[in-house]
Amino acid sequence: MHELSITMNILNIVEENAIDLNAKTVHEIEIDIGELSGVDDDALQFAMQCTVKSELLNHALLVINKIPAKARCKTCNHEFDVSDYYAECPECHGFDNDIYQGKELKIKSITID
Amino acid sequence: MCETCGCGHPDNNITFRRPSHPHTHPHVHESSDDSHSRVIKIERDILAANKQLAERNRGYFEAKNIKTLNLVSAPGSGKTTLLVKTIETLKRDINFCVIEGDQQTMNDSERISATGAEVIQINTGNGCHLDADMINKAVKKLNVPENSVLVIENVGNLVCPALFDLGEAYRVVIMSVTEGDDKPLKYPNMFHTSDICLINKTDLLPYVDFDIAKAKEYALKANHHLRFFEISAKTGEGMNEWFDWLRGLK
Ligand SMILES: Nc1nc2c(ncn2[C@@H]2O[C@H](COP(=O)(O)OP(=O)(O)OP(=O)(O)O)[C@@H](O)[C@H]2O)c(=O)[nH]1
Ligand SMILES: [Mg+2]
Ligand SMILES: [Zn+2]
């Protein structure tokens, strides 16, 4: 359950920012989670519910943008969608590629009062 | 981070703990029609704190020429057995220090301690992985000397430790032939982020359906740069290549 420590990291960063911004309440936390990040949405939402938060964060809704994974072939530069690390290039059938999108674990924005 | 982390030296059992509040807390979300709401862009990596601390650890290790390995595997694949055999064989050539991570017990650090190597045990409580902060604290308590090899035995788990950089120079993933050759397909993140792959318990190959060629093929699909060693920590078969690789780290 690394989602619990991911949640604690999210709450720490959001709280820090919210305090800096003199927020009274955080309504929403928007995050990007890459398909290949190794983090499970449901487990994250569950961990979020199970964690006791300060008054500032107590009503915050977690909105997850799932980011699809994309690779660029190192041999022929072709860009294509992937769903795991074993992707074969549809153009040259090589396996050497860079996954340039889909590993995100990022806080995008917060909605505050 | 929220886990309760007890960390102590085998002799005096120092424990440090952090706040923990794992009870459920259902709550209702009120919809906010409030016109004062503002959306603020944050754009911060969720694991930024761990990554920064891992880089600090890495810089410290490089400055003192401490070669650091992060040993990761499913529970029971033979991390501690391998470490004990490795230290016993190489202790005249290499100065080993060990950080042992387990949820509970001092068992593994006691096995390491018997070899004469310096060791500290981190008990993560409910935590399923080590993080850079725990390593930072453990290294300060352990007093790792210059020009040594620091081996971190992570908590037995092929999922969570993949996400947490500790500042190691090499991540070493161990799979044993009793686990099934499709482990790399099931846990690609761990193989993707590793540098070395040890296939352990080869002495049991005659008794199990484990296809080494297939296991390697699957692992290479997750990571083209993986380097393999086929070993039996029990019989010593194949261990010389591994020892040579370690000697080459100096
Ligand atoms: N047959 C055989 N058994 C082995 C080998 N290596 C380890 N074992 C056995 O596997 C079991 C687990 O070994 P450990 O070294 O404790 O494994 P570990 O990965 O440190 O386990 P955790 O720390 O609990 O995750 C023990 O019973 C070992 O004796 C091997 O090469 N061959
Ligand atoms: Mg062990
Ligand atoms: Zn291609």
The reply to whether residue A112 touches residue B32, judged by beta carbons under 8 angstroms, is no
Give the residues across from B150 on adjacent strands.
Answer: B68, B97
The reply to whether residue B25 touches residue A10, judged by beta carbons under 8 angstroms, is no
End-to-end CA distance of chain A: 32
Give whole-number Cα distances, B88 to A38, B66, B80, B82, B234, in Å: 36, 19, 12, 10, 13
In contact, B108 and B121? CB cutoff 8 Å: yes
Instruction: Provide the 8-state DSSP code for B202.
Output: G
Which pLDDT score is estimated for B33? 52
Secondary structure (H, E, C), B26-86: CCCCCCCCCCCCEEEEEEEECCHHHHHHHHHHHHHHHHCCCEEEEEEECCCCCHHHHHHHH
Domain of residue B175, residue span: 2-247
ipTM, interface predicted TM-score of the complex: 0.87
Q: To which H or E segment does residue B74 belong?
A: none
Taking CB atoms and an 8 Å cut-off, how many pairs form between chains A and B? 122
Residue B202 CA, closest ligand 1 atom number = 31
Nearest to B149 by CA among B83, B229, B55: B83
Taking 50 as the threshold, does the pLDDT of residue B7 lie above it? no
In contact, B71 and B79? CB cutoff 8 Å: yes
Taking 50 as the threshold, does the pLDDT of residue B14 lie above it? no
Separation of CA A83 and ligand 1 centre (Å) = 33
The reply to whether residue B2 touches residue A84, judged by beta carbons under 8 angstroms, is no
Q: How far is B78 from chain A (nearest CA, A)?
A: 23
List strands edge to edge, sheet with A105-112. A61-67, A26-34, A105-112, B38-45
A89 in helix, strand or coil?
A: coil
CATH number, domain containing residue A19: 3.30.2320.80
The total number of structural domains that make up chain A: 1
pTM of the full structure: 0.85
Question: Does B85 sit in the ligand 1 pocket, CB within 6 Å?
Answer: no
Atom 12, ligand 1: residue with shortest CA distance: B76
Beta carbons within 8 Å of B221's beta carbon, 6+ residues apart: A85, A86, A95, B184
Domain of residue A76, residue span: 3-112
Chain A contact set for B32 (CB, 8 A) = 25, 27, 111, 113
Instruction: Provide the 8-state DSSP code for A68.
Output: P
In contact, A6 and A39? CB cutoff 8 Å: yes
Angle B136-A46-B76 from CA coordinates, rounded to 5°: 50
Rounded CA-CA distance B175/B192 in Å is 14
Which amino acid would we find at residue B170?
Y
Beta strand residue intervals within B89-185, DSSP E: 96-102, 118-123, 149-153, 170-176
The reply to whether residue A85 touches residue B27, judged by beta carbons under 8 angstroms, is no
Q: How confident is the model at residue A93 (pLDDT cuts 50, 70, 90)?
A: very high
Question: Does B145 sit in the ligand 1 pocket, CB within 6 Å?
Answer: no
Mean pLDDT lowest for which of A85-99, B53-67, B76-90, B162-176?
A85-99
In contact, B195 and B170? CB cutoff 8 Å: yes
Chain B contact set for A49 (CB, 8 A) = 24-27
- Structure tokens belonging to residue A91: 């153009």
Question: Does B156 sit in the ligand 1 pocket, CB within 6 Å?
Answer: yes
The total number of structural domains that make up chain B: 1
pLDDT digits (tens, 9 = 90+) for B70-104: 999 999 999 999 999 999 999 999 999 999 999 99
Give whole-number Cα distances, B75 to B79, B101, B212, in Å: 9, 12, 20
pLDDT digits (tens, 9 = 90+) for B209-248: 999 999 999 999 889 899 999 999 999 999 999 999 999 9
CATH number, domain containing residue B133: 3.40.50.300
